[in-house]
Structure 1
Amino acid sequence: MKATIYDVAREAGVSIATVSKVINGKGKISEERRREIIEIMDRLHYQPSVIASALTGKHTYTFGLLIPVISNPFFAEVARAVEDRAHQLGYSVIICSTDNKDDRVERYIGLLKQKSVDGIIMGTGIERVDMAAELSGSMPVVAIGREWSSVPVHTVVADDYQGGRAAASHLLGLGHRRCAVLSESMTIISSRERVQGYRQALEEADIPLHNDHIRICKFTIEDGRRNTALLLADENRPTALFCCNDLLAVGALQAAREAGVRVPEQLSIVSFDNTILAAVTDPPLTSVAQPMEQLGAMAVNLLVRELEEKPSDKQKIVLQTELIVRESTAGWRS
C-alpha cells in the first residue's frame, strides 16, 4: 500500500503540518530533525505529488543538472556531489548529458521546464546568448566548473589559471624547457584560463610556448592519443606535457607507450582534474586536483539560497586547486 503523509507523520512522531513544512522547506525546523523526517520518507518510499505542487505554484524540490557527458569521471564525481548535497536538503536531481551541443541543451531545458524543476545547475557549454539569457530570466541558474561571459548567473569554479601555473612551475622546477599542452576548445573559459596560467609561468622563466606545441583536442582519450603522437613525431619533441584534463592525459600515456617514449624518464606528464583515473594509470598521473565535492555542494547551496532569499547580486565562488605529485613527472636529464 502506498505510504501517505499521515504514515510519515506517525512514524516520525510529528504532526502532518510539520511533515508538510519539511516537504516545502518552510518553518523553523532543525536541520537534524528535517533530515530525520526525510530519511523516514525515503524508508517508507513516500512521494509527495510533484504535479500537484507545480500546479499550485509550490516547489517541486527537483533540480536539473546539465553536464557534457556522464561517462567522464570528472563530471560523474561532480554529479554525485550535487546529488548528495541536494538529497541532504530534500531535493532530487535530474541529470542530462548534452555533449556540449546547443540543440541538446535546448531540448533538455525544455524537458526540465515541463517537469517544473526549481532550478538548473549548468556544467555544460552554451554558446547561444539568447538561450542563456532566456534561461537565467525564467528560473534560478548556477554555472558550475565554467563561467558564462554573456549572462550574469551564480558561478562556482576552480582556480583554473592558478592550476595551470602550478603545472608549469612543477615542470620548470624539474628542469624541463621544451613544454607542450593539450587543451580543449579555447571557447571554453576554463580551458583558456588553464593554458594562460601555464603559458604565463613559462614566459616568466623565459621559456616560450610555441603555437605548434599547443594542441586543441576533443574531450576524448583518443584525441589525446592522436595529438600526443603528433607532438612526439616532431624532431624537437617536448620533454614535458600539460594535459587540461585526465582523459587527454590517459591518451597521452597511450601515445607515449606506442612511440616507445618512457614516462617519466623521457616525457613528464601533468594532468588536470585528479579524478580516479589519475591514480590508476601506469604510471599514476601527477595532477592538478579540482575540489569536485566542494564544487557540487556549493552549487546546490547557491541554488537553494537563490530560491529562499532571491538575492539581487550574483555570487562567484573560486575554489583553490592543489597539485598532487605522483609518478608521471621526473627531473629532465639532457
Structure 2
Amino acid sequence: MKATIYDVAKEAGVSIATVSKVINQTGKISEATRVKVLETMKGLNYYPSVVASALTGKRTETLGLLVPDISNPFFSEIARTIEDRAHDRGMSVIMCSTDDNAEKEKKYIELLQRKQVDGLIVASGFQDKKLLNDLKRNNIPLVMLSLDDPSLDVTTVSVDDYKGGFEAASHLLSLGHRNIAIIGEEVHSSRMRILGFRDAFEMYGEQFDERNLLRTTASLSNGSESVKKFLQQDNPPTAVFACNDLIAIGAIQGARELAVSVPDDLSIIGFDNTILATTTVPALTTVAQPMGDMGNKVVDILIEEIHRRVVTRERILFTPKLIVRGTTKEK
C-alpha cells in the first residue's frame, strides 16, 4: 500500500502539520526534526503530490522545454545542457518535440499547462505566436531560446546568427571561393545567417548569385539531395555554406556519392558545432554556438523569472566562433 502523509507523521513521531511544513519549507522547524522527517519520507518511499502542490499555488519545480526536432543534434545537445542545469538548480524538465507543427504546439502547450510547469523554454520557431502571447498574458514565465522575435515581449537567449553567417562567408571568400552555394532553412536563425553571408560578399566587393540559394528542412537526406542539385548543374559551386551541421554532413555524403572530393573539389562549412562535426571524415569546418553557455543561461533566467526577480526583458546574444577543420581549403 502506498504510504501517506499520515504514515510519515506517525513513523517520525511528529504531527501532520510538521510534515507539511517540512515538505513546503514553511514555518520554524529544527534541523534535527527536518532531517528526521525527510529520512522517514525516504524510508517509506513517500513523495508529496506535485499536482496537489500546484493546485494550492505552490511550485512544482518543473520546467517545460519545447524543441522543433530532437533528432537534430543541436537541439538534443542543448536539451541535455538544459536538463543538467535544471537538475543542479533543483528542477526537472519535461521536453516536447513539436516538429514545427502548429497542432503539436497547441497540444504540448496544453499538456505542459496541465502538468503545472513553473515556466517554459521555447527553442522553436513556433507557428502559432498567439499561443505564446496567451501564456504571457496569463503570467506564465517564458524564455525563448535561439529565436529572437520582437513581437513577443519575452527574454531571448540566442547566438549572433548574422555574425556567424558573415564569418562563414569571410572564411570561404578568403580561401578564394566566389561561386558559393547556400543551403538554408525557412526559419529566423537561418535567414539571419544568410543575411550575414550576403553582406560579407558585399564587403569583398562581390555579388552573391541568388540562384545559389536553396531552402529546405534540416535532415541528412535533404542536405545530400540539395548538394547534388548544385553539383549537377553546368557551373557547380566550389563551396557550400550549410546553415546547420545536419545539412552540412548530409552535403558531405551527397558529394561523396557523386565522387566529388571534400575539400579538394568542394569546400563545405556548417553551423552549430555539434558532436557530429567531429565524427565526419574529414572533420567539419563549422561556426560554433556556445551551446553549454546558452543552455545554462536560459535556465538561470527562467528560474529568476519564476521567482519574480526579473522585471525587465532582455535580449541576450552570444558570440559565435569559426572552427576551421578539414572540409574547407583554398580554391
Displacement of 1:213 in angstroms is 0.5
Displacement of 1:312 in angstroms is 3.2
Residue 156 of structure 1 pairs with residue 157 of structure 2: yes
Residue type of the alignment partner of 2:170: S
**Alpha-carbon displacement from aligned partner over 1:28-73 (angstroms, at most 9, x marks no partner):** xxxxxxxxxx9xx999976332022111101011111000111111
- Separation of aligned partners in 2, 1:82 and 1:46: 27
Displacement of 1:127 in angstroms is 2.5
- Separation of aligned partners in 2, 1:272 and 1:249: 8
Label 1:267 to 1:133 Cα distance change in 2 as closer, same or farther (>3 A).
same
Written as runs of structure 1 = structure 2, the 5 A alignment for 1:201-280 is 201-280=200-279
Residue 176 of structure 1 pairs with residue 177 of structure 2: yes
Residue type of the alignment partner of 1:114: R
Displacement of 1:16 in angstroms is 6.4
Displacement of 1:3 in angstroms is 8.2
Written as runs of structure 1 = structure 2, the 5 A alignment for 1:121-140 is 121-138=121-138, 139-140=140-141
- Separation of aligned partners in 1, 2:149 and 2:44: 41
Written as runs of structure 1 = structure 2, the 5 A alignment for 1:268-307 is 268-307=267-306
Written as runs of structure 1 = structure 2, the 5 A alignment for 1:1-334 is 20=23, 47-138=47-138, 139-185=140-186, 188-332=187-331
Task: State the superposition RMSD in angstroms.
Answer: 2.6
Displacement of 1:250 in angstroms is 1.2
Displacement of 1:218 in angstroms is 1.1
Residue type of the alignment partner of 1:184: E
- Separation of aligned partners in 2, 1:299 and 1:54: 23
Question: What SS is found at the alignment partner of 1:66?
Answer: strand
Question: What SS is found at the alignment partner of 2:144?
Answer: strand
Label 1:232 to 1:46 Cα distance change in 2 as closer, same or farther (>3 A).
farther
- Separation of aligned partners in 2, 1:273 and 1:42: 43
Question: What SS is found at the alignment partner of 2:240?
Answer: strand
Q: TM-score, normalised by structure 1?
A: 0.86
- Separation of aligned partners in 2, 1:77 and 1:244: 17
- Separation of aligned partners in 2, 1:45 and 1:268: 58
- Separation of aligned partners in 2, 1:223 and 1:159: 25
Displacement of 1:261 in angstroms is 1.1
Q: TM-score, normalised by structure 2?
A: 0.87
Displacement of 1:258 in angstroms is 1.4
Identity of aligned residues (%): 45
Question: What SS is found at the alignment partner of 2:48?
Answer: coil
Residue type of the alignment partner of 2:166: R
- Separation of aligned partners in 1, 2:85 and 2:103: 29
Displacement of 1:175 in angstroms is 1.2
Label 1:227 to 1:307 Cα distance change in 2 as closer, same or farther (>3 A).
same
Contact residue 100 and residue 127 of structure 2 kept, 8 A: no
Label 1:162 to 1:3 Cα distance change in 2 as closer, same or farther (>3 A).
farther
Residue type of the alignment partner of 1:205: Y
Residue type of the alignment partner of 1:137: R
- Separation of aligned partners in 2, 1:46 and 1:228: 57
Q: Which moved more, 1:308-317 or 1:111-120?
A: 308-317
Residue type of the alignment partner of 1:95: M
Label 1:46 to 1:125 Cα distance change in 2 as closer, same or farther (>3 A).
farther
Question: What SS is found at the alignment partner of 1:293?
Answer: helix
Structure 1: 5+ residue stretches without partners: 28-37
Question: What SS is found at the alignment partner of 1:192?
Answer: helix
Label 1:224 to 1:136 Cα distance change in 2 as closer, same or farther (>3 A).
same
Aligned length: 311
Contact residue 23 and residue 48 of structure 2 kept, 8 A: no
- Separation of aligned partners in 2, 1:71 and 1:117: 24
- Separation of aligned partners in 1, 2:4 and 2:296: 30
Question: What SS is found at the alignment partner of 1:215?
Answer: strand
- Separation of aligned partners in 2, 1:221 and 1:227: 10
